[in-house]
Structure 1
């Protein structure tokens, strides 16, 4: 059996480096289940029920988009609401992040004020008859990725969210102290043994410094969200992903991260006023 905590720790038994990432096999999943493409999250789950696990659940960490897609369906089952409705009502609206919403796959369906995404690559559309498309617009089915990578947000709303779950006193938290402590606590052995940092429940944590961070990308976008032990936080968003020859996303992320840390280290006097109400 796979537990909720194992899903949260990315220890559910799926390893995309060993097998594949089913969230990017929309057409295959739909065909296997016998439904029209593109495959919903529920269809991908039905497809994966017929696939073997890559390792014993709980025995090690392996980042899994699919595991968090399953968690979204658990939220829907428990709450009786859609994943988006529940997260907005219980987390984002109390945090003041009222403009966050789930994205759509097609350019024609992007939200008002949402940027356009750019990528060097093209792909076969997951929509029947869609032909070859720019990867961010139909190369994958974003609607099925809601709970592992589907949110559209501004940097300001990301920071509203972060400062509502960071355990600091600067702004009210939407989670209680016990929930926040559980979220960042070390995962059980053997996960991350001997490492200076670990993956909690949704965050990478460096406990000695009190730093949390989360990064990620999709074709057409790159994101970084950081909370420091010193009480600072920042969010970085790009409407592209670095995949040019001789480079890769990890290098781009690391250089961006280091540049911001260096800039932050040069500031000796931070202002105390709150500008959240003035910006979207």
Structure 2
């Protein structure tokens, strides 16, 4: 353990006050960055500050947020800013792009429609959406449940991800950028599947695009309105909203990347910062589109406890049931909107999110813990892995001797 990491750990034990500003040793001093922390944690949880701050320093991340709940009680809600200039302080309620942490949200909406009898697991996507099966009759075998579990038959290993292949799709359709969701569906439907539906798990952003359109078809309203009314409002979650590519929402952080790319938002060929135009955020609304705070994500995770008005215990359990393909050799599998893995005789469900300028993590442990971590970048010259935050937070949680009583929920 390095000396500067030890000093961060001591700092975490001794402080926890909102708005604290310090210059930590090592890299922070060398870069003249200063720390600002906002929010609160209950006694005994200050070690999480050291974990997140060390992770951010190693990757030169400017903004981060962490929220944690235990048995439905909010026990930690923190915002972290490590900056040199007039960057607004990150708060526990700052909005970040959730990226693929949107998928558990979409899955919750679909499960609610199943619970209400408005959808069935074996309903066919082609029939619901009026998709032609002439290019591949196997498309008729793509069910709602298979879409939820990434068993639809599209492979990113054999074909490019159509949700991030705007230029090629525009060229194939003879259109100018930007393309829309209708263009993506038209293009993919005109091509053969990569494999038979239900035979192999292959992660598919496009499958969740179809699920969002099914939600709109069945409900007769917009995806955003149905999710807000049926999934978020019952838990008093009101800050979440769909993000936009070029127009930030009030309270949304600024995203950073070391890369630039040609914009897909117009045909100009302009080179832009990767988070702002290298992909079309609006097209990815149903698979990567929500903005959320870390606090709201851990509140959302309670839906899958089966104790809220949103999902019954049976509907919540369906989210974590193994798919028809079974589990992989290591016991892992993808349920309905969640990755699931065995852990110490229990299970852990989680989802990561990754877009240019965004890295997010939502974890739900079956010992009553849930947490959300969010950052305003996913790449930097250090080459450090961003997924390492997962193990670091599990380790810190496992080291907590006695979890405190109390609930911060009423103050955030």
Unaligned runs of 5+ in 1: none
The 5 A counterparts of 1:21-60 are 21-60=161-200
Shift of 1:205: 1.4
Q: What SS is found at the alignment partner of 1:137?
A: coil
- State how far apart, in whole Å, the 2-side matches of 1:55 and 1:116 are: 39
Matched, 1:256 2:389: yes
- State how far apart, in whole Å, the 1-side matches of 2:377 and 2:383 are: 17
- State how far apart, in whole Å, the 1-side matches of 2:269 and 2:219 are: 36
Higher RCO structure (Cα 8 Å, ≥6 apart):
2
Partner residue of 2:267 out of 128, 131, 145: 128
Deviations along 1:234-255, one digit per CA (max 9) or x if unpaired, are 10001100354744xxx321x2
Matched, 1:196 2:331: yes
- State how far apart, in whole Å, the 2-side matches of 1:223 and 1:173 are: 26
Which residue of the partner structure matches residue 140 of structure 1?
279
Which residue of the partner structure matches residue 222 of structure 1?
359
Q: What SS is found at the alignment partner of 1:214?
A: strand
**Higher strand residue share:** 2
- State how far apart, in whole Å, the 1-side matches of 2:327 and 2:401 are: 35
- State how far apart, in whole Å, the 1-side matches of 2:332 and 2:189 are: 32
- State how far apart, in whole Å, the 1-side matches of 2:366 and 2:207 are: 29
Aligned residue pairs total 269
Matched, 1:100 2:245: no
The 5 A counterparts of 1:168-179 are 172-179=308-315
Which residue of the partner structure matches residue 294 of structure 2?
155
Moved over 6 A (4+): none
Matched, 1:184 2:320: yes
> CA distance change for structure 1 residues 243 and 44 in 2, over 3 Å: closer, same or farther?
farther
Unaligned runs of 5+ in 2: 1-139
Query: What is the RMSD of the two structures over their aligned residues, measured on CA atoms?
Result: 1.7
Shift of 1:164: 2.3
Shift of 1:173: 4.9
- State how far apart, in whole Å, the 1-side matches of 2:168 and 2:392 are: 41
